[in-house]
Amino acid sequence: MLDLLVFLPVLVAVALLAVPGLSDQVSRIVLVAVTGVELAVSLGLWLAYEPRPGVTGDIAYERELQWIPTVDSGYHVGVDGLSLPMLLLTTGLFFCCALYAWREQLRPRIFAALLLFLETACLGVFASLDLILFFVFFDLSIVGMYFVIAGWGHGQAARSALKFFLYTFFGSLAMLVGFLALFAGSAPHTFDMVALAQNPPLQGRPVAGGFALLALGIGLAIKTPTVPFHTWLPPAHTDAPAVGSAVLAGVLLKMGTYGFVRIAMPMLPDAWRTWAVVAVVVGAVGVLYGALVALAQTDLKRMIAYTSVAHMGYVLLAVGAAGMLGGSDAEARTVAVSGAVTQMVSHGLVTGALFLLAGVLQDRAASYDLDAYGGLATTAPRFAGLFGLAAFASLALPGLSGFVAEFQVLAGSLGSAPVGVVVALLGLLVTAALFLVAMNRLLLGPPGRLTGKVRDLRPSELAAVVPLLSLSLFIGVLPRPLLDVIEPSARAVVDLVSR
Amino acid sequence: MSLLWPILLTPAGVGALLALLGPRTGRTAPAVAVLTTAATLGLVAGAGTQQRTSVPFLLGAPFELGLDGLSSALAVTVCVVTLCVLAAVPGQVPERRGRLCGWLLLFLFAVLLTLTARSLLPLLVGWELMGAASYLLIAHDVADPHAARSATTALLTTRALDLGLYLAAGAALAGGGTLALDGLSALPAGWRDAAALGIVAAALGKAAQLPVSFWLSRAMDGPSPVSALLHSAAMVAMGGYLLLRTAPLLTATGWADDAVAWTGATTAVLLGIVALAQRDLKQLLAASTASQLGFVVLAAGLSAREAGAAQLVAHASVKSLLFLVAGLWLHELGTRDLGALRGAALRTPAVGVLAVVGLASLAGLPPLALWGTKDAVLDAALQHSVPLYAAGLLAAVLSAAYAGRVLVLVLAVDRQPDRAPVSPRVRVPTTSWVPLLPLAAGAALLVALAVGRPAELFGELVGREPVQTSAAGLGLAALLAVAVLALMRSQGEALAARLSGAPLHWLHLEPAVRAIAVRPVLQLSRALATFDDSVLDRAVESAAAGTVRAATAARRLDERDLDGGVRAIASLTQRLGALARRLQTGQVHHYYGQAAALLVAATVLLLLVR
């Protein structure tokens, strides 16, 4: 089933392009249908999944085929508590994006094929248990996103797409160097992620391990992105179409943070413990810096982009704190890592919804200027209600997923990294400020220059945004179903780092 | 199943439905909300004081709820006040009633969650939901940009201090692994201090104590029924409640109890002065709220849980009554300016009677509620420290002064030369003021919380000992209140006018916080945004430009230097070839000559080499 989940979209994409004379309407239906099937399949995998530690074995839905035996790299896929939430997030977000794209008028057939190709690449990254396979899917996702931005974006789309591609491609090359170091340091030489986590390479070789982590870290930090490697993100988001932004923020950014918990921490535990403080600093600074820069923005999409930097900072803070063993017990560090994974899911849902809502403004009035709007609570109540809900979710209001994530990160990290947590708390406050200011500008007060143009949400837009925020609400109120899956693997990661 | 879940889910479910349906609920919304609250009240009253439940939520942090005497007493209070407020909404709020009633119910849910929380996690959830609901309630008039800004100020100020609860939760997790509220005082010293610091900060912020009292002034831009619930009985009161609840932790630290007691006493005095200086009825009531909550905070610092709870309940009744009166006057007479409200009690007789009861109670006149409960707090202060008692007594005098001033004003009779009243009477619909009756009854009769057998029962319900007052203390308080009232009758306005500086402007607290915290942050944020664009991003862009330049240089090297070198060799070869061709003339004698010359040269070379 996992193979089907990963490869069905790309097969349909090929068919979409190959069959001549398909109408636009048919390709829209196919897109919604296939992403719907994907969502159903991943839900089935979720329901049939027995919580287990994973990471070093005991992987669900595992399949291993020979591919490049000379370097012991194979087609090895499987699912544990770290990857399953990511798979479900990916299929859910793509389904919502497919609904949102119902009204896409520009080359819908090619757009549908491209989105399906992108879905395969994203699912492949999270299902991979082999570094080369991971790298291939990782790069394919960059290629897919490049075409989405360049082909369907607006503003300086070509330039932003190129910047996105080159910057993140550079990151993936740095990551590849790290992979090669892992390969060279392992005995016997292998690219298999399970084997590398079971028998970590470069243990007791601080210099080589440090350099391997540096290469991996830079690569993943660019993709995440963390301060100071984030400057490709605002232009990419600003000029990308709404669906592209939602996928970019919701899924692609998670590949970076996922790499930290899946690859860097379990495979380089010595080096991770030595350099954990760097992750803490980068994370805490990122939370505050991202929030402060977001506060100064006047462009809605740039603002949301910078809040993404802040939200990814929490993940870095937590995984860093999980590597600092003094001052906290394994229980608290497990809470931190569990919070990091929850944050990836929560950010995907909430920021995905925010970008889709921002796309509504672009669709109606072709502007993201916060000052051009106002009073939308009166003229577009559905938009206002959902935007308000998403904003409150993003500023970590209890009852929504952001709180569950950030509370775990902050409470779990305080023992190991008190200074980092205090800095991040300030960032939490600034995040609240910037979303309240944005709500005041957009939704409240007298109508602005472009308010008259903003027609309230259409059914397809409503159908795309409501499920994302409902899921955020569900996780916020009843987090156990998600945490029951995440926690065993989070504990496994913490145990592996403590080796 | 524990009754706690229906208690919480009833207002939450109906509230969410009303907020979601909004305008479509029409006129039925207040009625539905009143019935829902009545049902919730019945559940709370029927649940007793022994409820406890826990469900798993986060790792090591289950969702622990419970209902004991203190929670139950305050939950009943909040439900009753909510009931009266919701019943009063149709008489005061013309627009968007469905949304307002929905959000009020959601707010009630958040308060009940706060009250039933037995660990820091559900407390934090209820606490932050209260803040968010308060933002939406203050910004009820969505078209009013001023209200929106005030709502933001109120939420951001309280949330800044709410972060203390995250700190406390982190400290509890790191220090002991349990977030239970009654386990905090057993934490190891360092973590215990951090937890106490966080809780005190969050509680003082919500209770509008110094130095952040100013948010309560801004919150007055919301509708009056909202203030009647949030800024009397519920949100601010929860700050006091949390301190009463965690008094053992405050005592255990050895510093937090004194700090809290003195903050409460100082706020009671200074905000009393601020209240005296106000010219707007709602602003006066708001300052008075901070001052009266000061007594509760003072009681918490003294571990006088029983007296503090009595003051909390009595004040809730008095202040929600007065906020609703202010709202009725605003709706019927069109003003909340104290000067314009001269004689208001006489112009609206029914409302006037209610107002007089509330103001007299607030002034501490016997035998009304706040006279007794305030004295209970003072009694506890006297047993602990004389300076704290003196400060409390001064605050009591001040509350008699500001409440007395309003009392004198609204009862004033201005007559024209022909003895006819200056302003005509206004008929207030019965349905508008009847909902206030239970609150007025409370403002008068809740004095029982502090004297006699009921005081013993209440004390046992919320704590261990009876609420204690002494005859001497009560007599002194009554004497002072009457004397101050007499003074205010002649000197009230002159005294208030003399306070037109800092007290009128809430001690300039908001501008100070803006100058110290908000403006630097905004400047920093703009500076960082510029840095991000022109340094970080520029660095990346110039790295890209540098790559292009390097490529151009490489191309030049490749085309001009490397390829040029190859071409130079080629043309040299070509030239040599051309030279060589000149030898090939096709004439035999030339070839003979060349052969001879070659032979000679070879011979010479041979001879030389040999």
The pLDDT tens digits for B375-388 are 999 999 999 999 99
User: Which of B121, B144, B173 lies at the smallest CB-CB distance from A332?
Assistant: B173
The torsion defined by the Cα of A279, A283, A289 and A291, in degrees rounded to 10, comes to: 170
Residue B184 Cα, gap to closest chain A Cα (Å): 15
Residue A393 Cα, gap to closest chain B Cα (Å): 11
According to the model, what pLDDT value does residue B260 have?
A: 96
**Nearest residue to B130 via CA among B235, B15, B201:** B235
B129 to A392: CB separation less than 8 angstroms, yes or no: no
A407 to B166: CB separation less than 8 angstroms, yes or no: yes
The angle, 0 to 180 degrees and rounded to 10, between the axes of the packed helices B386-410 and B349-363 is 160
* pLDDT at residue B511 is higher than 70: yes
Q: Which residues of chain A make contact with B205, given a CB cutoff of 8 A?
A: none
Q: Which residues of chain A make contact with B218, given a CB cutoff of 8 A?
A: none
What is the rounded average pLDDT of the residues B445-450?
Answer: 90
Q: Which residues of chain A make contact with B163, given a CB cutoff of 8 A?
A: 425, 428-429
C-alpha span between B274 and B269 (Å, rounded): 9
**Nearest residue to B409 via CA among B478, B445, B363:** B363
C-alpha span between B111 and A317 (Å, rounded): 32
According to the model, what pLDDT value does residue B205 have?
A: 95
Q: Are A237 and A166 in contact (CB under 8 A)?
A: no
According to the model, what pLDDT value does residue B127 have?
A: 95
Residue A16 Cα, gap to closest chain B Cα (Å): 37
The pLDDT tens digits for A37-48 are 999 999 999 999
* Tokens describing residue B420: 């006819």
C-alpha span between A63 and A75 (Å, rounded): 8
Q: Which residues of chain B make contact with A428, given a CB cutoff of 8 A?
A: 163, 166
* pLDDT at residue A327 is higher than 70: no
Q: Which residues of chain A make contact with B520, given a CB cutoff of 8 A?
A: none
* Tokens describing residue A181: 């170091």
Q: Which residue of A has its CA nearest to B122?
A: A398
A440 to B56: CB separation less than 8 angstroms, yes or no: no
User: Which of A335, A399, A413 lies at the smallest CB-CB distance from B125?
Assistant: A399
The alpha carbons of chain A give a radius of gyration, in whole angstroms, of 21
C-alpha span between B165 and B162 (Å, rounded): 6
pLDDT tier at A361 (50, 70, 90 boundaries)? very high
Q: Which residue of A has its CA nearest to B142?
A: A444
Least confident of A283-297, A426-440, B116-130, B459-473: B459-473
Q: Which residues of chain A make contact with B57, given a CB cutoff of 8 A?
A: 479-480
According to the model, what pLDDT value does residue B420 have?
A: 67
What is the rounded average pLDDT of the residues A292-317?
Answer: 96
According to the model, what pLDDT value does residue B1 have?
A: 65
**Nearest residue to B223 via CA among B112, B340, B134:** B134
Mean pLDDT, chain B, integer: 92
**Nearest residue to B243 via CA among B168, B311, B308, B157:** B308
Q: Which residues of chain A make contact with B124, given a CB cutoff of 8 A?
A: 398, 407
User: Which of B57, B159, B528 lies at the smallest CB-CB distance from A429?
Assistant: B159
Q: Are A239 and A152 in contact (CB under 8 A)?
A: no
Q: Mapping DSSP to helix (H, G, I), strand (E, B) and coil, where does residue A350 land? A: helix
Burial class (CB in 10 A: 0-12, 13-18, 19+), B219: buried
B173 to A414: CB separation less than 8 angstroms, yes or no: yes
B170 to A413: CB separation less than 8 angstroms, yes or no: yes
C-alpha span between A48 and A4 (Å, rounded): 16
Q: Which amino acid is at B470?
A: S
Instruction: For residue A333, give the H/E element and its range.
Output: helix A330-365
Interface test with B, best of A338, A429, A483, A486 (most B CBs within 10 A): A429
* pLDDT at residue B587 is higher than 90: no
C-alpha span between B367 and A158 (Å, rounded): 79
SS3 string, B184-196, reads HHHCCHHHHHHHH
What is the rounded average pLDDT of the residues B257-277?
Answer: 96
C-alpha span between B76 and B313 (Å, rounded): 10
The angle, 0 to 180 degrees and rounded to 10, between the axes of the packed helices B28-47 and B69-92 is 170
A432 to B167: CB separation less than 8 angstroms, yes or no: no
A410 to B170: CB separation less than 8 angstroms, yes or no: yes
* pLDDT at residue B49 is higher than 90: no
B58 to A335: CB separation less than 8 angstroms, yes or no: yes
pLDDT tier at B94 (50, 70, 90 boundaries)? confident
Q: Which residue of A has its CA nearest to B19?
A: A385
What is the rounded average pLDDT of the residues B499-526?
Answer: 92
* pLDDT at residue B139 is higher than 80: yes
pLDDT tier at B396 (50, 70, 90 boundaries)? very high
First to last CA, chain A: 34
Distant-in-sequence, close-in-space partners of B9: CB < 8 Å, separation ≥ 6:
none
Q: Which residue of B has its CA nearest to A410?
A: B170
Interface test with A, best of B123, B141, B142, B524 (most A CBs within 10 A): B142
According to the model, what pLDDT value does residue A105 have?
A: 85
Interface test with B, best of A159, A168, A173, A292 (most B CBs within 10 A): A292
* Tokens describing residue B225: 């029924």
Q: Which residues of chain A make contact with B175, given a CB cutoff of 8 A?
A: 415
Residue B152 Cα, gap to closest chain A Cα (Å): 6
User: Which of B149, B528, B537 lies at the smallest CB-CB distance from A292?
Assistant: B528
Q: Which residues of chain A make contact with B126, given a CB cutoff of 8 A?
A: 398
The phi and psi torsions of B334 (rounded to 5 degrees) equal 75, 20
Q: Are A166 and A235 in contact (CB under 8 A)?
A: no
What is the rounded average pLDDT of the residues A477-482?
Answer: 95
Reported as half-sphere exposure (CB side, CA atoms, 13 A), residue B234 has a value of: 33
Q: Are B462 and B69 in contact (CB under 8 A)?
A: yes
What is the rounded average pLDDT of the residues B344-363?
Answer: 94
* pLDDT at residue B417 is higher than 90: no
β-pair partners for B119 = B180
Asked if the C-beta of B540 comes within 8 angstroms of chain A's C-beta atoms, the answer is: yes
* Tokens describing residue B280: 């707007």
Residue A85 Cα, gap to closest chain B Cα (Å): 17
Angle made by CA atoms A220, A224, A230, in degrees to the nearest 5: 110
The angle, 0 to 180 degrees and rounded to 10, between the axes of the packed helices B97-116 and B28-47 is 10
User: Which of A232, A414, A446 lies at the smallest CB-CB distance from B170?
Assistant: A414
**Residue with tokens 């859910």, as numbered in its chain:** A92
The pLDDT tens digits for A368-404 are 999 999 899 999 999 999 999 999 999 999 999 999 9
Q: Number of Cβ pairs closer than 8 Å across A and B?
A: 145
* pLDDT at residue A289 is higher than 70: yes
What is the rounded average pLDDT of the residues A98-123?
Answer: 93
According to the model, what pLDDT value does residue B423 have?
A: 72
pLDDT tier at B421 (50, 70, 90 boundaries)? low
Q: Are A368 and A300 in contact (CB under 8 A)?
A: yes
According to the model, what pLDDT value does residue B422 have?
A: 66
Q: Which residue of B has its CA nearest to A386?
A: B20
Mean pLDDT, chain A, integer: 94
According to the model, what pLDDT value does residue B21 have?
A: 87
C-alpha span between A477 and A483 (Å, rounded): 12
A166 to B129: CB separation less than 8 angstroms, yes or no: no
3-state helix, strand, coil in chain A (%, to 5): 75, 5, 20
Q: Where are the alpha helices (DSSP H) in B446-562?
A: 452-462, 471-498, 509-513, 519-531, 538-556
Report the DSSP pairing between strands A73-79 and A60-68: antiparallel
Asked if the C-beta of B262 comes within 8 angstroms of chain A's C-beta atoms, the answer is: no
Residue A386 Cα, gap to closest chain B Cα (Å): 11
* pLDDT at residue B409 is higher than 80: yes
The phi and psi torsions of A269 (rounded to 5 degrees) equal -60, -40
Distant-in-sequence, close-in-space partners of A349: CB < 8 Å, separation ≥ 6:
A89, A92, A93, A250, A393, A401, A468, A469, A471, A472, A475
CB atoms within 10 A of CB B248: 15
b/e for B92-123, b at 16 or more Cβ within 10 A?
bbeebbbbbbbbbbbbbbbbbbbbbbbbbbbb
Instruction: For residue A196, give the H/E element and its range.
Output: helix A193-198
Residue B87 Cα, gap to closest chain A Cα (Å): 26
* pLDDT at residue A362 is higher than 90: yes
Q: Are B372 and B454 in contact (CB under 8 A)?
A: no
**Nearest residue to A99 via CA among A477, A412, A467, A368:** A467
According to the model, what pLDDT value does residue A274 have?
A: 94
pLDDT tier at A11 (50, 70, 90 boundaries)? very high
The phi and psi torsions of A186 (rounded to 5 degrees) equal -85, 150
The phi and psi torsions of B62 (rounded to 5 degrees) equal -70, 165
pLDDT tier at A117 (50, 70, 90 boundaries)? very high
pLDDT tier at A329 (50, 70, 90 boundaries)? confident
C-alpha span between A224 and A219 (Å, rounded): 9
Q: Give chain B's largest Cα–Cα span.
A: 155
Asked if the C-beta of B548 comes within 8 angstroms of chain A's C-beta atoms, the answer is: no
Q: Which residues of chain A make contact with B548, given a CB cutoff of 8 A?
A: none
Question: B residues 489-518 near A, CB within 8 Å?
Answer: none
C-alpha span between B436 and B406 (Å, rounded): 19
**Nearest residue to B154 via CA among B208, B226, B113:** B208
Question: B residues 41-80 near A, CB within 8 Å?
Answer: 56-61
Instruction: For residue A430, give the H/E element and its range.
Output: helix A418-442
Residue B362 Cα, gap to closest chain A Cα (Å): 36
Q: Are B407 and B342 in contact (CB under 8 A)?
A: no
Least confident of A185-189, A364-368, B20-24, B506-510: B20-24
Question: B residues 96-125 near A, CB within 8 Å?
Answer: 121, 124-125
A483 to B170: CB separation less than 8 angstroms, yes or no: no
C-alpha span between A73 and A53 (Å, rounded): 23
B129 to A399: CB separation less than 8 angstroms, yes or no: yes
